[in-house]
């Protein structure tokens, strides 16, 4: 986040490149998207492209080179609130998203499908971060929410209960199990593109290709 105010976004806009990362890199992905309108990619970094997780490299290569819209299935997830949603796909590390709220580098989440991931946070900290997003009005306009990996956090049943409680009254689909984040499997997803979420079949379908 310390870099955001010193970046020349006009140069980036005039010379488009592919920006990929996750965790703290969420701050850069959101800022570049907001300030330039360019699509960024939430996905693996170099150390996540070893032979232990070869699928990450294959997925990343497909995401940044295919001229066909992507479709992601995460059948091992759990549907907590059924339904379908349309909106721009946004997301990343929950802590980074919370700290960007109120800055000029945070894109609007109105009408968006949001996914979040986290690592090593206790339940009370997750509760605090989610309530910060709720109280700041960032959750009110969402069309759907997806939970990615919550590695080394508290037990998932408690996190699921917390999510259902925080989102009660919003009437939006809520599903878990998206393979993104600090786990072994970290699929690349383009941020800022129109998408469709089907919480019942646990799929995300992008409406257009991520690259030209």
| Residue 131 included in any domain | yes
**What pLDDT is recorded for position 19?**
96
| Residue 63 included in any domain | yes
| Residue 31 included in any domain | yes
Catalytic residue among 42, 95, 143, 182: 182
Query: How many residues in the chain?
Result: 212
Tell me the pLDDT tens digit for each residue of 6-42.
999 999 999 999 999 999 999 999 999 999 999 999 9
The yes-or-no answer on residue 182 being catalytic is yes
pTM of the model: 0.95
**What pLDDT is recorded for position 154?**
84
| Residue 150 included in any domain | yes
Q: What are 23's two structure tokens?
A: 């965790």
* Cα–Cα distance for residue pair 145/96, rounded to 1 Å: 17
**What pLDDT is recorded for position 47?**
81
**What pLDDT is recorded for position 95?**
98
Total domain count for the chain? 1
* Cα–Cα distance for residue pair 66/209, rounded to 1 Å: 7
The yes-or-no answer on residue 23 being catalytic is yes
Find out whether 181 and 117 touch, Cβ atoms under 8 Å: yes
Catalytic residue among 42, 95, 117, 121: 117
Q: Tell me which residue range forms the domain holding 47.
A: 4-206
Q: Which of 209, 105, 97 has its CA nearest to residue 148?
A: 97
The yes-or-no answer on residue 95 being catalytic is no
pLDDT tens, residue order, the chain (212 aa):
999 999 999 999 999 999 999 999 999 999 999 999 999 999 999 887 876 777 899 999 999 999 999 999 999 999 999 999 999 999 999 999 999 999 999 999 999 999 999 999 999 999 999 999 999 999 999 999 999 999 999 889 999 999 999 999 999 999 999 999 999 999 999 999 999 999 999 999 999 999 88
| Residue 211 included in any domain | no
Radius of gyration, CA atoms only, the chain: 16
CATH of the domain at 91: 3.50.30.60
């Amino acid at each position: 986040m310390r870099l955001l105010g010193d970046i020349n976004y006009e140069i980036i806009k005039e010379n488009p490149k592919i920006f990929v990362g996750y965790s703290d890199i969420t701050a850069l992905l959101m800022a570049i998207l907001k300030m330039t309108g360019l699509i960024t990619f939430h996905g693996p970094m170099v150390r996540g492209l070893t032979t232990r997780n070869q699928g990450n490299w294959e997925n990343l290569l497909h995401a940044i080179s295919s001229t066909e819209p992507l479709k992601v299935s995460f059948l091992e997830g759990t549907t907590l609130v059924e339904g379908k949603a349309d909106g721009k796909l946004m997301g990343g590390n929950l802590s980074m998203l919370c700290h960007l709220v109120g800055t000029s580098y945070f894109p609007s989440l109105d009408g968006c499908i949001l996914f979040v991931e986290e690592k090593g946070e206790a339940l009370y900290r997750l509760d605090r971060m989610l309530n910060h997003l709720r109280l700041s009005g960032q959750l009110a306009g969402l069309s759907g929410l997806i939970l990615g990996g919550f590695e080394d956090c508290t037990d998932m049943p408690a996190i699921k209960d917390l999510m259902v409680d925080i989102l009660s009254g919003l009437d939006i689909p809520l599903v878990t199990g998206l393979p993104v984040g600090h786990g072994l499997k970290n699929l690349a997803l383009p941020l800022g593109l129109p998408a469709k979420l089907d919480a019942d079949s646990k799929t995300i379908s992008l409406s257009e290709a991520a690259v030209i």
